[in-house]
Structure 1
Amino acid sequence: MEFQRKFLVNKVPELSNYSNEYITQGYISTDPIIRIRQVDDQYFASMKSFGHLAREKFRMPINKEQFESLEKKVESNFIKKHRYFIPIGNGLTAKLDIYEEDLNKLLTIEVNFASRAQAESFLAPDWFGADITHDSRYRNNNLARFGVPN
């Protein structure tokens, strides 16, 4: 089970000291949610259940050839983003996503938690913006299909 909250961004911190990765992902299906993802030079296929704060997730490594074969089955636009890993205390890490191309100028933050209780009691730092955890328009599968919400 994955417990996650998602936020917009009020202010981007200085990023030069944080690790990051480049992500390309596409959705083979949005019902059920089946995603392929390239993270730098690694490749994955994932399935996620529906939900907001809590969801089931299964992720499996695949190779480049499998990724390229599955790429032809993607139903929507690909999402491309830089992800920065920013420690925020209490063993938590903010994953700051800076989107590119059709989603340019969109910035979101995701934080994963060990439990629903921890997620629900989380107090976001000041540089976090609006909590969009329950706003389906900001889910990556919907961003890939419909673009940045108005």
Structure 2
Amino acid sequence: MTTEIERKFTVAEHWQVPDDAVGLHLRQAYLTPPGAPVEFRVRAAGNARALTAKSFDSASGAMVRQEVEFAIDPAVFEQLWELARRDSLSKFRWSVPLGDEHLASVDEYDGPLSGLRVVEVEFGSVEEARDFRPPSWFGEEVTGDPAWSNRELAASAQQYETKESADEPAH
């Protein structure tokens, strides 16, 4: 099990993807309902497939989670994806260096969440996370706000998609 320490922010409208940024398309789906004490997710990142379990560390605050992640066979991923498809999202993740110390992961969502961009930065300690001063292209901090978790965004995407389908005229 690993400890994940991160802060999350919106991205300022003026920000553009740097020419030297490395990007990767991600698809992820959730096998547990919103609000579950342990979150189970499957993710496709390029050719890699993984199953992840995450749990908040209530003693350490909203930016600390315990995480177990392991690679799974692509056929197993597809079976789990089918089980969880309703609660899924798709995004492109850009890795943007922040000086010599940190790496920002900028997520640009597509599908029903198209246009939404958030940035996360991982840290080695809670103290390092607290001392971090975000660059000017970071927007509002949303660390710990459940509405900005990928789990909740996946549920929102499904609700939006369902509403859009209901609003379309019958053919």
Q: Give TM class, smaller chain.
A: over 0.9
Q: Percent of pairs identical after alignment?
A: 28
Q: Distance in 2 between matches of 1:74 and 1:98?
A: 21
2:16 and 2:85 mapped to 1: Cα distance?
34
How many residues end up aligned between the 2 structures? Answer: 148
Contact 2:89 2:157 in 1 (8 A): no
Greater share of helix: 2
Give the TM-score, by structure 2 length: 0.82
What amino acid does structure 1 have at the position aligned with 2:107? D
User: What TM-score do you get using the length of structure 1 for normalisation?
Assistant: 0.93
Deviations for 1:81-105, whole angstroms, at most 9, x for unmatched residues? 0000000024200000000001111
Unaligned runs of at least 5 residues, structure 2:
159-171
* 8 A contact 1:7–1:132 mirrored in 2: yes
Counterpart position of 2:43: 37
Given the alignment of the two structures, is residue 66 of structure 1 paired with residue 76 of structure 2, yes or no?
yes
Bigger share in strand: 1
Where do residues 1-150 of structure 1 align in structure 2 (5 Å cutoff)?
1-10=3-12, 11-30=14-33, 31=36, 32-50=38-56, 52-74=62-84, 76-147=86-157
Unpaired runs of at least 5, structure 1: none
| Counterpart Cα distance in 2 of 1:127 and 1:71 | 34
- Show structure 1 runs of 4+ deviating over 4 A: none
Give secondary structure in 2 for the equivalent of 1:73. Answer: helix
C-alpha distance in structure 2 between counterparts of 1:54 and 1:36, whole Å:
20
